Amino acid sequence: TIVMVTHDLDTLVALSSRIAVLYEGRLVVVGTLREVVHSENPFVVNFFLGERGRRALEAVWDTLGLGKNASRGKT
């Protein structure tokens, strides 16, 4: 087990099997990448609505095989 603290979303997506999201010093979501993306926690939802979050979601979708190219049968 390795614990890594990062704000680098590309690294997070590339290396993580489980993610813990902290907000104001408290754990708000813990789970797999898919579980975090589908979280209904207001902090997580608002993050993904912002520009940085939209870019992160694109990377997440690609990682989960749900990106733009996946719908066209590309990888």
Cα separation of 2 and 6, whole Å? 13
Structure tokens given for 49:
């609505």
| Whole-number pLDDT of residue 74 | 44
pTM equals 0.63
Model confidence pLDDT, tens digit, residues 44-66:
888 777 777 777 777 777 777 76
Structure tokens given for 71:
């719908």
Structure tokens given for 36:
């975090």
| Whole-number pLDDT of residue 75 | 43
Model confidence pLDDT, tens digit, residues 19-40:
999 999 999 999 998 898 889 9
Residue among 3, 14, 34, 59 nearest 22 (CA) = 3
pLDDT over 50 (residue 4)? yes
